Amino acid sequence: MNLTSAVTRLNETHDPALRSWVDSANQPDCDFSIQNLPFGVFRRAGSDESFRIGVAIGDQILDLSAAVAAGAFDGDAAAPARACRAATLNTFMAMGAHAWSAMRLTLSRILRDGSALQSTLQPCLAPQALAEYAVPAHIGDYTDFYTSVHHATNIGRLLRPDNPLLPNYKWLPIGYHGRSSSIVISGQAVRRPVSQVMRPGASAPVLAPSARLDYELEVGVYLGRGNALGEPIALDQAEQHVFGLCLFNDWSARDVQGWEYQPLGPFLSKNFASTVSPWVVTLEALAPYRAAWTRAEGDPQPLPYLDSAELRRQGAIGIELEVTLQSAAMREQGLAPHRLSHSNFRDAYWSVSQMVAHHTVNGCNLQSGDLLGSGTQSGPTPEQAGSLMELSLGGKQPLGLPSGETRTFLEDGDTVVFRGHCKATGAARIGFGEVRGTVLPARSIDA
């Protein structure tokens, strides 16, 4: 068995028959079933406690510092558990796939029905309803990819109707280096950015609040173990370096982007905020939802460093993604958030392993806690578009909301929520929770 299959192999932690002594984890639509066990960083909301690592189970969080102090971990899990007595996941992430797997196995055993540690661990639980979260890792570097060919084609068609998809797209996973300092945790409000925009028909740009603020429905990929400068990560080893996945909203100012993006790519249109979900779902938890990675007959087949039998067999990951929007007026009227679109991460043109292999093929070093954005995940049909830019056809076709309002781009007070979950025959349902953000008005511009 090669290294990649060690990550994707099913084991006792994936058994759909497992139940937890935390009752809420056994509800059929629960994101945080015992087969999931995602990691995050939390504290009691409004407290001045230090943030600490926890694992979501049902509607609770297992406080790992408390569980370690209670003596819940031994054997292969002892060292990784000690690394989880921290305010970020980086040290644990750097330990590698064997450590993550040992930790997961022990967590599964101590949280399942019949565990001898139930009464010991009961006091180590904290309700999610009373928690607040932090960005779970120190993110040294953030790179955003562009892995949905449907998104790239939709956007390309709006910008270049005669030539929607540039010729490099089908040969390499396109990406740009983003900025990690403005990555924020779910729930934190996002201020509408001010920047330079060139309005249609104008002869000079102005400094103004973005009038075309958008979201991007993305999956985030956290690097676990890095690589040394100059030493590429081969495709079939790439997943050994990936700790897990999260939901990711790469807020984007389309008017700023349209003016600044040539010739060097996105800059201020992207770096004012990106939002991560609190919970990181490990790659091992995602093993049951793998799918074949395919490339259409007529398309270029990947160069050898981006291709392997293992990739073809199970390089894709099925994650159902959805976007909802609730305007301020909808909130006041008690109207539920409105679903704008849905798509599936399985439809990405490039896999997680290909992003890692390509990123490092020139010797670039990735580090524990680095974040890769998947790029906007749009599906093959128009209603599966992962941004308002696509859904409104570049602002030409407003969308209706249940309040009677319409949207082309985001308005102040709009709350955008992404959710994601995985289902497969013979497997439990697991979910990512949510990533949420509300748009605040722009700061005033001094003359």
Question: Residue 375 Cβ, how far from Mn ion at the closest point, in Å?
Answer: 5
Q: How far apart are CA 246 and CA 142, in angstroms?
A: 14
Sole window of 189-197, 247-255, 286-294, 312-320 interacting with Mn ion (rule: CB under 5 A): 247-255
Among 31, 214, 239, 250, binds Mn ion (CB under 5 A): 250
Residues 6+ apart with CB under 8 A from 399: 340, 388, 391, 392, 406, 407, 408
Nearer to Mn ion, 254 or 342 (CB): 254
In this structure, what DSSP letter does residue 358 have?
A: H
How far is residue 389 from each of residues 49, 162, 246, 254, measured CA to CA in Å?
Answer: 41, 18, 23, 8
Closest C-alpha among 357, 294, 287 to residue 317? 287
Question: Residue 321 Cβ, how far from Mn ion at the closest point, in Å?
Answer: 14
Sole window of 7-15, 140-148, 400-408, 438-446 interacting with Mn ion (rule: CB under 5 A): 140-148
Closest C-alpha among 437, 421, 424 to residue 38? 421
Q: How far apart are CA 236 and CA 426, in angstroms?
A: 26
Nearer to Mn ion, 164 or 413 (CB): 164
Question: Residue 50 Cβ, how far from Mn ion at the closest point, in Å?
Answer: 32
Number of residues that bind Mn ion (CB under 5 A): 3
Task: Looking at residues 33 to 72 of the shown chain, list those that interact with Mn ion (rule: CB under 5 A).
Answer: none
Task: Looking at residues 187 to 246 of the shown chain, list those that interact with Mn ion (rule: CB under 5 A).
Answer: 216
Nearer to Mn ion, 216 or 284 (CB): 216
Residue nearest to Mn ion (CB): 250
Name beta bridge partners: 341: 323
Question: Residue 387 Cβ, how far from Mn ion at the closest point, in Å?
Answer: 9
Site for Mn ion contains 144 (CB under 5 A):
yes
Nearer to Mn ion, 250 or 434 (CB): 250
Q: Compute the CA torsion angle 405, 410, 413, 417 (nearest 10 deg).
A: 100
x-or-dash pattern for Mn ion, window 369-408, by CB under 5 A?
Answer: ----------------------------------------
Nearer to Mn ion, 151 or 429 (CB): 151
Q: How far apart are CA 353 and CA 211, in angstroms?
A: 36
Sole window of 47-55, 139-147, 241-249, 435-443 interacting with Mn ion (rule: CB under 5 A): 139-147
Q: How far apart are CA 260 and CA 275, in angstroms?
A: 22
Question: Residue 25 Cβ, how far from Mn ion at the closest point, in Å?
Answer: 33
Burial of 45 (C-beta count, 10 Å sphere; 0-12/13-18/19+) = exposed
* Catalytic annotation present for 151: yes
Nearer to Mn ion, 216 or 370 (CB): 216
Single-letter code of the amino acid located at 171: W
Sole window of 93-101, 249-257, 296-304, 435-443 interacting with Mn ion (rule: CB under 5 A): 249-257
Under DSSP, is residue 127 helix (H, G, I), strand (E, B) or coil?
strand
Parallel, antiparallel or unpaired: strands 142-145 and 175-177:
antiparallel
Question: Residue 252 Cβ, how far from Mn ion at the closest point, in Å?
Answer: 6
Residues 6+ apart with CB under 8 A from 85: 52, 53, 64, 65, 68
Nearer to Mn ion, 151 or 419 (CB): 151
Question: Residue 266 Cβ, how far from Mn ion at the closest point, in Å?
Answer: 8
Choose the catalytic residue: 14, 150, 151, 358: 151
Q: How far apart are CA 223 and CA 372, in angstroms?
A: 8
In this structure, what DSSP letter does residue 20 have?
A: B
Nearer to Mn ion, 13 or 154 (CB): 154
Cβ atoms 408, 426 nearer than 8 A: no
How far does CA 244 lie from the centroid of its chain?
9
How far does CA 102 lie from the centroid of its chain?
24
Nearest 5°: the CA angle 67, 70, 72 is 65
Question: Residue 38 Cβ, how far from Mn ion at the closest point, in Å?
Answer: 22
Nearer to Mn ion, 216 or 310 (CB): 216
Question: Residue 183 Cβ, how far from Mn ion at the closest point, in Å?
Answer: 12
Q: Which residue numbers are catalytic? A: 151
Contacts to Mn ion by CB under 5 A: 144, 216, 250
